[in-house]
Amino acid sequence: MVSSCNLLDYDYSPPPPSQYQITSEKVKSKIDSVLISQLDTKYIPYTFSLLETIKPTPFLKLDSLYSLRTNLRENAEDYLVLMKKYNNEIEELKNKINDEKLYHTYQIDHIYIVEKEKGYQLHEDQFKLLPNYQLQKITPILSTHLSTKEKDLFDYFTLQNPLYETGDISYNNQLDLLTYEKFNIALSNEKYNKAGLLHTILYSIEYIRQFNDFNEQKIAEGIADKWLIENHYNNFIPIYSKLTKKEQEVNSYSLIAQNKKGEVTIRFTLDLNLVITDITVE
């Protein structure tokens, strides 16, 4: 006899959320409510990192003891002795935790944008919350101004939308994947100039979408052009040198901008992500 499967009787409801998912949503909801109440302008949430639970050392030892007790085999010769030992140690640790009033905390990073009078301000902050989800501390990681164009580019970057357009869809997808992977890894590894790197990535995305290419020379020149405009070199008409690795500095590029009139030379030092790290005006 062949058993039949009745699709109408199948339970399509999603599985119940895990405790981790429940806690994560409570933490995110609390952060949202805090920012909405404290900010005097529009709050636009973007991404949250994975939630971390920060536990004092006695909590970690307690977890280890619970695990040892759970995995203890009943048929072991010293089962009763070990069970008593673990129970005593667990009780001692619990008393210590209560006496010292120790507690765990939750930690999560959040990227969000707020509207400003001119443009936007992007923030990445680390939030630490108490066990009852009350906010304990906010540690800034990144804060930088975005123009309206950069905000649109940041949205595009966040959604990881298509960058390249060739006749081969598979090739486009592969290029997009590799490019976004490079950008994301660079951002996660950057410790000292994350804001500069973010602006460089946004300009790179703009360049790729316009020219369907990642040309380091042209991107470096475009970034230098932006610096000239922002620093009021209005009459400076640059003639750029070739982007080259600096001598004895394998982690740096050099780009020289000579004024077309020959009056001023500006030397740009860029890191391997094309972020300007130093400028010399001669």
pLDDT in tens, 84-140: 999 999 999 999 999 999 999 999 999 999 999 889 999 999 999 999 999 999 999
> Which single residue is written with the structure tokens 């006899």?
1
pLDDT the model gives residue 195: 96
Taken in order 193, 196, 202, 205, the sign of the CA dihedral is negative
Buried residues in 68-106 as b, exposed as e (16+ CB within 10 A): eeeeeeeeeeeeeeeeeebeebbeebeeebeeeeeeeeb
Q: Half-sphere exposure (CA, 13 Å, Cβ side) for 143?
A: 7
pLDDT at 3 over 60: no
- Dihedral sign, CA of 90, 94, 97, 99? negative
Q: How far apart are the first and last CA of the chain?
A: 91
By the 10 Å C-beta count (0-12 exposed, 13-18 middle, 19+ buried), 145 is classed as middle
Helix, strand, coil in percent for the chain, rounding step 5: 45, 25, 30
User: By mean pLDDT, which of 92-106, 213-227, 240-254 is the weakest?
Assistant: 240-254
Would you say residue 4 has pLDDT above 70? no
| Per-residue confidence band for 252, with pLDDT thresholds at 50, 70 and 90 | very high
**pLDDT at res. 9:** 67
Instruction: Please say whether the beta carbons of 33 and 127 come within 8 A.
Output: no
| pLDDT confidence tier of residue 13, bands split at 50, 70 and 90 | confident
For helices 194-211 and 148-158, the axis angle rounded to 10 degrees is 80
Query: What stretch of H or E contains 9?
Result: none
CA dist 197 and 124 (Å) reads 14
Per-residue pLDDT at 2: 53
pLDDT at residue 219 is higher than 90: yes
Confidence category of residue 7, pLDDT binned at 50, 70, 90 = low
pLDDT tens figures, 39-83: 989 999 999 999 999 999 999 999 999 999 998 887 777 888 889
Least confident of 11-15, 107-111, 162-166, 228-232: 11-15
Burial class (CB in 10 A: 0-12, 13-18, 19+), 131: exposed
DSSP 88-120: HHHHHHHHHHHHTT---EEEEEEEEEEE-SSSE
- What integer pLDDT is reported at residue 166 of this predicted model? 86
pLDDT at 250 over 80: no
- pLDDT (tens digit, 9 = 90+) per residue, 139-198? 999 999 999 999 999 999 999 999 999 889 999 999 999 999 999 999 999 988 999 999
Residues whose CB falls within 8 Å of the CB of residue 230, separated by 6 or more in sequence, listed in order: none
